[in-house]
Amino acid sequence: MRFDDRFLEELKSRLRPSDVIGKSVKLRRQGREYAGLSPFTKEKSPSFFVNDDKGFYHCFS
């Protein structure tokens, strides 16, 4: 399924990644990013980061 580019830009302008991801992953502010435990693996130290300024997340686990 392909979404219209205008729709995706509108969606990005209304929602921050941390708001969406924060509904299922507990995030803590860490400088300019948010950090949390990876939703993909079991871990004790945060390796999952969300950056609202750049609009993406990255999991280092």
Enter the CATH code of domain 5-59: 3.90.580.10
pLDDT of residue 1: 82
CA distances to 13, 25, 35, 37, 40 from 47, in Å: 26, 12, 7, 6, 10
pLDDT digits (tens, 9 = 90+) for 13-45: 999 999 999 999 999 999 999 999 999 999 999
